C-alpha cells in the first residue's frame, strides 16, 4: 500500500519564510477547529473563519499580541494540538494566516508541525493590472488581490487611464464616462464599442477588500502622454483641438495633453483631488512614460509656456509639467510616483524630492533616481517583471513583445548591480506588471500572472534560488488550482 509523503512547511510555502524549523507530526484543520485571539486581530480572525473554515471560541488556534515585532513580522508555532500566532501588528497576524492558508491548501488541511519566524526583505511588494486596455470586473480584481495577498504582496497598482480607455468618473466631466471610457472596436464593421468605468462605489469596494488583506491600492492617472481617450472627450485639452478618438490600436501616439493649456491644468487638479478623496492610501501614480513631444514643438500655447518659464526644450517642458502635477498630488495629501521617464529633461528644474521613481526600462532609471536621493520601485521589463511577455519563446504561447520565463523572474533582484550602499536604502522593493493590450479576459490574465507573480512575491519577501522554486512548483500549482486560477504549467526556461 502506498503511503502519503510527509510534507514539510518548507516544501509547501512560497514565499519561503525567513526561518523555518521542521517538527514531527501535523495539525489537522477540520470543521470543529476553534480560534481565540487578542482583540487587535479581530479582522484577521474574521478572515480566518472564511479561509480556514474555523469557529471562534476555543484555542486550537491562538492569535497572541506580543510586543517587539516589526510590521508584517510574525512567529508561527504549529504543534499537533495547537497553533500559536504571535505578532505585534494585525498585518503580521494576517501574514501568518496566509502562511497557514497556503499549507492547508497545498496539503489537504494537514499543517506540518513547525516553528516559523518571518519578515519581509522589502516594504514594497506589488503587482500592476492595466484596466485601460482591457476592462476587468470588480469580482476578478478582488480575486487577484486575494491570491496576491496570500503570497504576502501588499501593493495593488491600478492602471486606470490610457489611450484605450478612461476608467474613473469625475464630477462635472460627464464625457469621461460617455465618450472616453468606450472605444469602437476596429476589428468589427458594425460600430460596436467596448469599455466602461468603475463607479465610486466599486472603487471603494475594491479598496475595502484590499485593506482587509493588508494591501494598499495605488491608482494611476496617466500624464501627459497616453491621453487619446481623454482628448476624445475633451479635444481642447490637446494641442491641435482634434479630432481625436479613443484608440483601438496599440502603441504610442503623438497627440498628448497640451502643456500650455491652463484649462487642462485645472482639469488635472480636479482629477487629482477626486482621486485623493476616493483612494485613502498614501500614493497616486502620475504616469509620465512614453510621451512624444511632436505636438508640443509646433503648439503656440506650449511655445508660450516655454517662454514664460524660461525653458529651452520640450523635454524641459515635460519636466515642468511633472512638477506641476506632483504639486497637485502633494497638495491633495498624497505622494507622487512616476515612471522613469520623469528623470528626463530635469537638468534645469529637477523634480520634486517626494517623487518616487518606478524604474521599468531596465535598471538605469532606478540607479539614477536613487543616486539623486529619490525612493525607487524596481520593475524592469528586462528582468522578469513584465507578465504580458510570453512564458517561453514559442509561437504557441500567448504574450506580447518579449519573453519572461519563470527562471528569469526567479532571478530578479530589486537591488541593481553596482549600486552604492547608500542608494540601496532607497530601493523600496519591486512589482510585477501586466499590461493588457493582448490580454482580453480574466482567465487569460490569470495565465499570464501565474505562477510568475508567486515567484515575484518570493523575490520581494525572501529570495530563493531557482532550484528551490522548481522544487516547490507542484505544491504551488496545487494551491493555485484549488483557488480556481488558470495558471501556466509548462517549462520554466
Q: Is 293 a catalytic residue?
A: no
Q: Is 290 a catalytic residue?
A: yes
Planar angle of CA 408, 210, 76, nearest 5 degrees: 75
Beta-sheet pairing, 165-166 with 161-162: antiparallel
Written as nine digits, the cell of 90 is 494585525
Beta bridge partners of 130: 159
Catalytic residue among 157, 159, 226, 285: 226
Q: Is 152 a catalytic residue?
A: no
Catalytic residue among 290, 368, 397, 437: 290
3-state secondary structure the chain: CCCCCCCCHHHHCCCCCCEEEEEEEEEECCCCCEEEECHHHHHHHHHHHHHCCCEECCCCEEEEECCCCCCCCEEEEECCCCEEEEECCHHHHHHHHHHHHHHHHHCCCEEEEEEEEECCCCCEEEEEEECCCCCCCHHHHHHHHHHHHHCCCCEEEEECEECCEECECCCCCCHHHHHHCEEECCCCCCCCEEECCECHHHHHHHHHHHHHCCCEEEEEEEECCCCHHHHHHCHHHECCCCCCCCCCCCCCCCCCECCCCHHHHHHHHHHHHHHHHHCCCCEEEEECCCCCCHHHHHCHHHHHHHHHHCCCCHHHHHHHHHHHHHHHHHHCCCEEEEEHHHHCCCCCCCCCCCCEEEECCCCHHHHHHHHCCCCEEECCCCCCCECCCECCCCCCCCCCCCECCHHHHHCCCCCCCCCCHHHHCCEEEEEEEECCCCCCCHHHHHHHHCCHHHHHHHHHHCCCCHHHHHHHHHHHHHHHHHCCCCCCCCCCC
Catalytic residue among 118, 146, 162, 163: 162
Residues annotated as part of the active site: 162, 226, 290
Amino acid at each position: 500500500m502506498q503511503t502519503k509523503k510527509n510534507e514539510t512547511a518548507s516544501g509547501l510555502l512560497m514565499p519561503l519564510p525567513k526561518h523555518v524549523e521542521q517538527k514531527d507530526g501535523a495539525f489537522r484543520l477540520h470543521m470543529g477547529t476553534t480560534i481565540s485571539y487578542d482583540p487587535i486581530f479581530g479582522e484577521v480572525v474574521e478572515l480566518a473563519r472564511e479561509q480556514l473554515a474555523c469557529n471562534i471560541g476555543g484555542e486550537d488556534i491562538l492569535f497572541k499580541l506580543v510586543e517587539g515585532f516589526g510590521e508584517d513580522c510574525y512567529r508561527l508555532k504549529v504543534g499537533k494540538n495547537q497553533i500559536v500566532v504571535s505578532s505585534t501588528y494585525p498585518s503580521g497576524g494576517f501574514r501568518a494566516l496566509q502562511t497557514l492558508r497556503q499549507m492547508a491548501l497545498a496539503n489537504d488541511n494537514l499543517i506540518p508541525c513547525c516553528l516559523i519566524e518571518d519578515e519581509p526583505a522589502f516594504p514594497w511588494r506589488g503587482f500592476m493590472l492595466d484596466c485601460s486596455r482591457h476592462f476587468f470586473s470588480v469580482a476578478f480584481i478582488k480575486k487577484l488581490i486575494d491570491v496576491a495577498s496570500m503570497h504576502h504582496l501588499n501593493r495593488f497598482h491600478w492602471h486606470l487611464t490610457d489611450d484605450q480607455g478612461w476608467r474613473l468618473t469625475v464630477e462635472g466631466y460627464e464625457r469621461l464616462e460617455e465618450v472616453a471610457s468606450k472605444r469602437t472596436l476596429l476589428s468589427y464593421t458594425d460600430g460596436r464599442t467596448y469599455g466602461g468605468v468603475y463607479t465610486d462605489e466599486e472603487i471603494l469596494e475594491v479598496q475595502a477588500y484590499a485593506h482587509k488583506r493588508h494591501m494598499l491600492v495605488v491608482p494611476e492617472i496617466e500624464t501627459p502622454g497616453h491621453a487619446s481617450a481623454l482628448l476624445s472627450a475633451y479635444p481642447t485639452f490637446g494641442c491641435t483641438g482634434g479630432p481625436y478618438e479613443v484608440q483601438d490600436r496599440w502603441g504610442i501616439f503623438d497627440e498628448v495633453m497640451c502643456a500650455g493649456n491652463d484649462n487642462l491644468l485645472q482639469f488635472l487638479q480636479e482629477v487629482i483631488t477626486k482621486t485623493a478623496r476616493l483612494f485613502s492610501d498614501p500614493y497616486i501614480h502620475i504616469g509620465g512614460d512614453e510621451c512624444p513631444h511632436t505636438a508640443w514643438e509646433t503648439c503656440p500655447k506650449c511655445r508660450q509656456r516655454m517662454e514664460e518659464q524660461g525653458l529651452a526644450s520640450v523635454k524641459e517642458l515635460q519636466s515642468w509639467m511633472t512638477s506641476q502635477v506632483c504639486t497637485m498630488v502633494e497638495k491633495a495629501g498624497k505622494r507622487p510616483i512616476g515612471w522613469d521617464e520623469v528623470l528626463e529633461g530635469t537638468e534645469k528644474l529637477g523634480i520634486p524630492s517626494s517623487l518616487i521613481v518606478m524604474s521599468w526600462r531596465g535598471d538605469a532609471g532606478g540607479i539614477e533616481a536613487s543616486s539623486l536621493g529619490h525612493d525607487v520601485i524596481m520593475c524592469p521589463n528586462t528582468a522578469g517583471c513584465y507578465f504580458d511577455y510570453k512564458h517561453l519563446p514559442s509561437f504557441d504561447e500567448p504574450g506580447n513583445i518579449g519573453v519572461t520565463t519563470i527562471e528569469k523572474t526567479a532571478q530578479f533582484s530589486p537591488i541593481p548591480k553596482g549600486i552604492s550602499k547608500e542608494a540601496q536604502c532607497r530601493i523600496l522593493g519591486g512589482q510585477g506588471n501586466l499590461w493588457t493590450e493582448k490580454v482580453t479576459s480574466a482567465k487569460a490574465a490569470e495565465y499570464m500572472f501565474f505562477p510568475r507573480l508567486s515567484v515575484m512575491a518570493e523575490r520581494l519577501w525572501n529570495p530563493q534560488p531557482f532550484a528551490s522554486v522548481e522544487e516547490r512548483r507542484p505544491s504551488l500549482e496545487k494551491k493555485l488550482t484549488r483557488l480556481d486560477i488558470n495558471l501556466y504549467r509548462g517549462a520554466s526556461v
